Amino acid sequence: MVVSTQEIATSVSKPWLDLRGKIVMVTGASSGIGRELCIDLAKAGCKIIAAARRTKKLKALCHEINNMEIFNIHANEGEAITHDVLAVALELDISAKGPAIEAVVQKAWAAFGCIHALINNAGFRGNFKFFLFFSLCVGLNFCISLRNLCLSKTNF
């Protein structure tokens, strides 16, 4: 069975059908899946708040995104979108505590005025047994704190 792009697009929930102008915060954005998500979301018209501990890689990612030539699929063919800043880099470590997380969220909100979506993609490398312990104790607290702080400013 062949499914057209239009059929897929019409099955997507209306608010997320068009991602242009949405502000997305991605943790773990300095490499791997997080980095690729940032690039793909930027190509879809999102503004990106890229967060990770490796600031040099984050800055390179944001430079790449901010210098991409994004084309508007809804405009005349070949018409480029004019834009200011599409991506900002924020240093954030998964082991960060409440005040440090809150400071990063404040900077994220200051960058674009809101956050429409949060993708908690931050990871950990090391011993697997330690990872399980770390993930349960620290990682969960980090994700919950970050989510709560992002949502606390949202007006639904």
**Domain contains 47:** yes
Do the domain assignments include residue 144?
Answer: yes
Range in 55-64, 69-78, 90-99, 109-118 the model is least confident about: 69-78
Distances (CA, A) of 11 to 16, 117, 125: 11, 20, 37
Task: Tell me the mean pLDDT in the region 35-55.
Answer: 95
Asked if the structure places residue 7 within a domain, the reply is no
- Roughly how many angstroms between the first and final C-alpha of the chain, as a whole number? 39
Mean pLDDT to the nearest integer, 57-62: 97
Residue 42 lies inside a defined structural domain of this protein: yes
Residue 39 lies in a domain: yes
Residue 10 domain-assigned?
A: no
CATH number of domain containing 68:
3.40.50.720
The answer, yes or no, to whether residue 42 has pLDDT greater than 60, is: yes
* Domain assignment present for 8: no
143 inside domain: yes
Instruction: Compute the distance between CA of residue 33 and CA of residue 105 in angstroms, rounded to an integer.
Output: 21
99 pLDDT tier (thresholds 50, 70, 90): confident
Cα radius of gyration rounded to whole Å, the chain: 17
pLDDT band at 100 (very low <50, low <70, confident <90, very high): confident
pLDDT higher than 50, residue 36: yes
When divided into structural domains, the chain yields a total of 1
By the 8 A CB rule, do 88 and 52 touch? no
Structure tokens at 94: 């998964």
Domain range for 87 is 19-152
Q: Name the residue with higher pLDDT: 21 or 4.
A: 21
- Answer yes or no: is pLDDT of 23 > 60: yes
- Report the candidate in 21, 43, 61, 50 with the shortest Cα–Cα distance to residue 119: 50
